[in-house]
Amino acid sequence: MDGSLAATGTDPKVTAQEPAPGSRADQGAVVSLKFAEDTIAATSPAVQESSLVQKIKAQFPGYPVVVSVASVDSRVSYWSGLGGSSVTQLVAVAPGVYEAYNPAVPDLNLYVDSGPVMGDCILIKATFPDRGSTCWDGVRAGSDEPK
C-alpha cells in the first residue's frame, strides 16, 4: 500500500494504531492501522535522494552530518558567528564544507542540495560549483566529522 486509502463511500473508523496517535514515525517505517472491519499496514513512501546527495554519500561515507561549530577550522567558525549569529551547529555536507544547521530543518539531504556553503575552496568548486559560497584554501574536516 502506498500510504493512501481508496474511498469506500463511508469514513473508515480506526480502532487502533501503531505507533500511538500523536507520536512520530520515521520515514519508511511501517504504520499499522486497525479499522472496524480490517487491518491495513501502510509504509510511508521513501523520498528519492537527488543525484548530488547520492554522489556525496557514495564519495564521503557518513556525510552529511551535524557538527559543532567549535570542532571546525577557525576560519569557518569565525565566519559562521559574524553578525552576532548564535549558530552553534553546522551541517558538514562534505569534508571541510559546511552550512549553518537549523534544527527546524532536520533533513540533512536538503542542506546538500541547496543553500550557501562555506569551507574548502577546491572541494566547493568541484562539488558545489553553482552555489553561493565563502571559501578558504586548505580547510580540512573537523574533529566531529567521519574519519
The residue with greater pLDDT, 30 or 60, is 60
Domain ranges of the chain: 1-46, 51-136
Average pLDDT for 61-74: 96
- Mean pLDDT calculated for residue range 68-93: 86
Task: Note the pLDDT tens digit of each residue in 20-55.
Answer: 777 777 766 677 767 666 545 555 555 689 999 999
Confidence of residue 2 (pLDDT cuts 50, 70, 90): very low
∠ CA 30-32-34 to the nearest 5 degrees? 170
Q: What is the pLDDT of residue 28?
A: 66
Burial class (CB in 10 A: 0-12, 13-18, 19+), 48: exposed
pLDDT band at 76; cut points 50, 70, 90? very high
Q: Say what the pLDDT of residue 1 is.
A: 42
pLDDT of residue 86: 75
Q: Dump pLDDT digits (tens) for 117-144.
A: 999 999 999 999 988 899 999 999 999 9
Reduced to 3 states, what is the DSSP secondary structure of residue 102? coil
Distance of CA 126 to the CA centre of its chain: 21
| pTM (predicted TM-score) | 0.66
Tell me: the pLDDT tens digits for 104-118? 999 999 999 998 999
> Residue 108 CB: number of other CB atoms within 10 A?
17
- Residue 60 scores a pLDDT above 80: yes
Quick one: cell of 24? 512520530
